[in-house]
A and B are shown apart, each in its own frame.
Chain A
């Protein structure tokens, strides 16, 4: 599974990187960059991050 950022929706709140630094870091302008694949054990964290996003810009994709 992988986390996908909708870059149109994202407004650089940055909560995602704060909550899950192992999955996401921020670029120099504060926009999220995905670090790695979401392995089974990280799915709950990814889901937490998804629901914490005020812009609903994150989703989990299986492809």
Chain B
């Protein structure tokens, strides 16, 4: 028998050379530790572990995993949902985990299930995501487990990965967010409570349960312990998903991604509902506390680098138009507000906007902010506001002199086809 040693770095991607098989996984990481116990013993152990780390969710909300568990405390045997929806066009960590470490994800979910005495695990993968599906199908086929492991395929839309939309889909086949005036709250599938975790969070849990909180904290910063997956795209030579130690700077990450293809024009953190940061972004340590201080978050682990010579107004406009088309059409302020914002921006980008038209854009931002059942419209507002702040000079130029030379340059931001619902 070979000795199992805890990985130093990378962690989740430690087995990248051995392939994703279950045998390679067991050889590298050893058997899954069990948190089974009498009565609530397992649950207590799990709580302790999540608290000691602490394990912060990697889905984008930045919610401590122990908090999610605490909300469940009264409901027994929840359905465990592995959220692999990847609605963000600029994220590819789901497929990366499916290709490299699907068994860490499954281990994490099974550890949770055992501690909570759950019998059912559902992996939610968008219906058009064949690569992630294949990775998990193969991994499930390699294992014999007491819990049921099944894959569900919600429709691929931006909003479907939202927790309540996902639970709604799994309950009734309707992938629409529901109205939750009190947050955070736990979601239900039918009449059973559900615990929804991003797939990356579960992969970290699999290692945390094996090697302990001390090991977990040996990397990263005191407030952001561990490592995290970040998908980098835009003006870099090797866009991809990287495992990253919390606290290391964006400049280092861009080096890791092969360096810039041209001058640095700013970075979008957190995806299409995220926050732009200007030249300061390069020296920014990528961890919860530093990003929070800059008014941003990593979201589900996304950085998009804007090249210096592109037009931020044009890039923003196209993303807002895309996001408007991704609205699920439930709430008036989103249905009417997002297209109105897109139109304001289109005018600003491609024709000569008056000061009054620009002020209308600002008024629309106030009207839309915080008024949807889910956070989709809020994300768009945040994206536009941060863009206005970071690229104020470029916006001023458009206002003063009309469209810039780069306005029709090819898009930097990935824009998949909006699907009809």
Contact = CB atoms under 8 A, between A and B. Distances in A.
A29 B181 contact: no
The prevalent SS among residues of A at the interface is loop
User: Could you say which of B176, B330, B331, B337 has the most chain A C-beta atoms within 10 Å of its C-beta?
Assistant: B331
A37 interface: no
Interface of B: 176, 178-179, 181-182, 330-334, 336-337, 367, 371-373
Nearest to B178: A8
Nearest to B363: A28
Given A29-B332, A31-B333, A61-B181, A6 B373 contact: yes
Contact of B336 (A8, A10, A11, A29): A29
A28 B368 CA distance: 11
Given A29-B336, A61-B181, A63-B182, A7 B367 contact: no
Contacts of A28: 367
Nearest to A6: B179
Given A28-B367, A33-B371, A63-B182, A7 B330 contact: yes
Contacts of A6: 179, 181, 373
B411 to A, nearest CB: 29
Given A6-B179, A10-B332, A31 B371 contact: yes
A23 to B, nearest CB: 16
A7 B328 CA distance: 13
A21 interface: no
Given A27-B367, A33-B367, A4 B332 contact: no
B181 A7 contact: no
- Range of interface residues on A (Cβ < 8 Å): 10 to 19
A27 B333 CA distance: 8
A12 interface: yes
Nearest to B332: A31
A5 to B, nearest CB: 8
A31 B372 CA distance: 11
8 contacts: A6-B181, A7-B179, A7-B330, A7-B332, A8-B179, A12-B332, A31-B336, A33-B371
A20 interface: no
A5 B333 CA distance: 12
A8 B330 contact: yes
A35 B179 CA distance: 20
A11 B181 CA distance: 18
Interface in A1-47: 4-12, 27-31, 33
Given A28-B367, A31-B371, A8 B331 contact: yes
Contacts of A33: 367, 371
A6 B374 CA distance: 11
Nearest to B331: A7
Contact of B371 (A7, A11, A12, A59): A7
Contacts of A29: 332-333, 336-337
Contacts of B372: 7
A30 B182 contact: no
A7 B176 CA distance: 13
A6 B178 CA distance: 10
Contacts of B367: 27-28, 33
A62 to B, nearest CB: 11
Nearest to A63: B182
A45 B372 CA distance: 25
